């Protein structure tokens, strides 16, 4: 069980309000990702849920019980820190067993659970090593192992992959998703990487300056961003945002069109944009062109097939797909 509900939760550090009153519901078994730019309060929110920070105001309910003033250890949550926070003087085995030892569990049960966690996480061969003798990915797994042996109601991850290299990050991403499927436990995951958010989440919470901008499944956020901030934050490369006359044609203050929703066409015509190719990024399967001098915006990014060959300085004609143009009003809110 791990249903977590935040009601009007607010957090201030002395005079500065980092989280204005905020409501959020996290269902049992859900994989929820908090994303947002640096300093927007993701870690603070996670630490409030963990109990490592006291809320200034509001209520946190875990499985229906008021947990606002319950100490962290009693909330039944486990946390994986960005720095792993392993105990350097203990072996991997002792690290993983530590929460069980603190819970005064009997030794046979501790051993069983540690062995179990180690085999799930491929750590069996490393149980007698110290954390200092492990690679980053292995340390990460030990930190996860220490979390899963407690069989918590929910896992909290604070940017757990940001210290790993790109390849390992993709691998660990899969492993964590896999783990979620296997354990079926609530997970709350903080990241500033929208790719991690899109690939792992059941539900994404987009935060800006402590405010929730939008909550929804990855595809909801991708298809129907509620405002310009979410539109610009979700999706890679970023959505093209166009103001002025072109937007007015669609009856909006700003229109947004994703790079993958623009087609490269042969000739100019009605509703076709023309521009000059700037930098192109070849990924093999796809190529991203950055187009200048369209008269619409500074640059327009377009995704084209990897086979399309256009050079720097060539003229290009673009046709946006009319059915996937996002329209926003002067306040930056989505127009249906």
Partner 1 sequence: MATQHSRSAARLMMAPAVVLLLGWMLVPLSMTLWFSFRKFLPLRGGDQGFVGFDNYVRFISSSSFWPAVQTTLVIVLGVLIITIVFGVLLAMLLDQPIWGQGIVRILIIAPFFVMPTVSALVWKNIFMDPVNGLLAHLWRAFGADPVVWLTDVPVYSIVMILSWQWLPFATLILLTAIQSLDGEQLEASEMDGAGFLSRFIYIILPHLSRAITIVILIQTIFLLSIFAEIFVTTGGAFGTRTLTYLIFQRVLESQNVGLGSAGGVYAIILANIVAIFLMRIVGKNLDA
| Residues contributing to the site for Mg ion (CB under 5 A) | 43
Sign of the dihedral through C-alpha 158, 162, 164, 167: positive
Question: Pick from 11, 150, 261, 290: which binds partner 1 (CB under 8 A)?
Answer: 150
Q: For residues 235 and 327, what is the distance between their CA atoms, to the nearest angstrom?
A: 16
Give CA separation, 57 vs 44, 54, 155, 250, 266, in Å: 14, 9, 23, 44, 60
**What is the per-residue binding string for ligand ATP in 192-211, x denoting contact by CB under 6 A?**
x-------------------
Residue 325 touches partner 1, criterion: CB under 8 A: no
CB-based closest residue to Mg ion: 43
Q: How many residues make contact with partner 1 (CB under 8 A)?
A: 24
Chain-centre distance for alpha carbon 220: 14
Our CA angle for 300, 303, 308, nearest 5°, is: 115
Residue 105 touches partner 1, criterion: CB under 8 A: no
Peptide bond between residue 24 and the one before it cis (omega within 30 degrees of 0):
no
Question: Pick from 41, 99, 218, 225: which binds ligand ATP (CB under 6 A)?
Answer: 41
Residue 72: CB minimum distance to partner 1, A: 5
Residue 18 touches ligand ATP, criterion: CB under 6 A: yes
Which residues inside 64-83 make contact with ligand ATP, applying CB under 6 A? Answer: none
Task: Give φ, ψ of 94 to 5 degrees.
Answer: -70, -35
Helix (H, G, I), strand (E, B) or coil at 238: coil
Question: Pick from 2, 36, 41, 99: which binds partner 1 (CB under 8 A)?
Answer: 99
Q: For residues 47 and 45, what is the distance between their CA atoms, to the nearest angstrom?
A: 5
Quick one: residue 67, left, alpha or beta (phi over 0 = left, psi -120 to 50 = alpha)? alpha
Question: Which of the choices Mg ion, partner 1, ligand ATP, none does residue 77 contact, using the CB cut-off of 5 to 8 A by kind?
Answer: partner 1
Question: Pick from 58, 59, 85, 327: which binds partner 1 (CB under 8 A)?
Answer: 85
Q: For residues 241 and 328, what is the distance between their CA atoms, to the nearest angstrom?
A: 10
Judged by CB, which is closer to partner 1: 95, or 294?
95
Chain-centre distance for alpha carbon 310: 34
Judged by CB, which is closer to partner 1: 13, or 87?
87
Residue 169 touches partner 1, criterion: CB under 8 A: no
Residue 315: CB minimum distance to ligand ATP, A: 41
Residue 324 touches partner 1, criterion: CB under 8 A: no
Alpha helix (H) residue ranges in 149-284: 166-183, 194-200, 218-223, 228-233, 245-249
Question: Which of the choices ligand ATP, Mg ion, partner 1, none does residue 172 contact, using the CB cut-off of 5 to 8 A by kind?
Answer: none
Task: Give φ, ψ of 227 to 5 degrees.
Answer: -150, 180
Residue 107 touches partner 1, criterion: CB under 8 A: no
- Give me the residues that bind ligand ATP (CB under 6 A), please: 13, 16, 18, 36, 38-44, 192
- Give me the residues that bind partner 1 (CB under 8 A), please: 50-52, 71-73, 77-79, 81-83, 85-90, 98-99, 102-103, 146, 150
């Amino acid at each position: 069980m791990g249903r977590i509900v935040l009601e009007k939760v607010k957090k201030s550090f002395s005079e500065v309000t980092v989280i204005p009153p905020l409501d959020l519901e996290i269902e049992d078994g859900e994989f929820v990702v908090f994303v947002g730019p640096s300093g927007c309060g993701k870690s603070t929110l996670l630490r409030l849920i963990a109990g490592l920070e006291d809320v200034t105001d509001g209520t946190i309910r875990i499985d229906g019980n008021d947990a606002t003033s319950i100490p962290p250890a009693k909330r039944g949550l486990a946390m994986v820190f960005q720095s792993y926070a392993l105990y350097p003087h203990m072996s991997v085995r002792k690290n993983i067993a530590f929460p069980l030892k603190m819970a005064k569990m009997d030794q046979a049960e501790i051993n069983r659970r540690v062995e179990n966690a180690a085999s799930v996480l491929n750590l069996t061969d490393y149980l007698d090593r110290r954390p200092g003798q492990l690679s980053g990915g292995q340390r990460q797994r030990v930190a996860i192992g220490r979390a899963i042996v407690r069989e918590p109601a929910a896992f909290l991850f604070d940017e757990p992959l940001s210290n790993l290299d790109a390849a390992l990050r993709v691998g660990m991403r899969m492993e964590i998703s896999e783990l979620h499927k296997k354990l079926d436990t609530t997970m709350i995951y903080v990241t500033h990487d929208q790719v991690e958010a899109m690939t792992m989440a059941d539900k994404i919470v987009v935060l800006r300056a402590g405010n929730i901008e939008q909550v929804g499944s990855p595809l909801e956020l991708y298809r129907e961003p509620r405002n310009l901030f979410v539109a610009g934050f979700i999706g890679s490369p970023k959505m093209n945002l166009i103001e002025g006359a072109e937007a007015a044609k669609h009856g909006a203050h700003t229109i947004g069109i994703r790079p993958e929703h623009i087609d490269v066409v042969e000739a100019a015509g009605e509703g076709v944009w023309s521009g000059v190719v700037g930098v192109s990024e070849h990924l093999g399967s796809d190529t991203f062109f950055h187009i200048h001098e369209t008269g619409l915006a500074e640059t327009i990014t377009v995704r084209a097939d990897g086979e399309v060959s256009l050079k720097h300085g060539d003229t290009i004609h673009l046709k946006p797909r009319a059915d996937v143009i996002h329209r926003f009003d002067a306040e930056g809110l989505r127009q249906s």
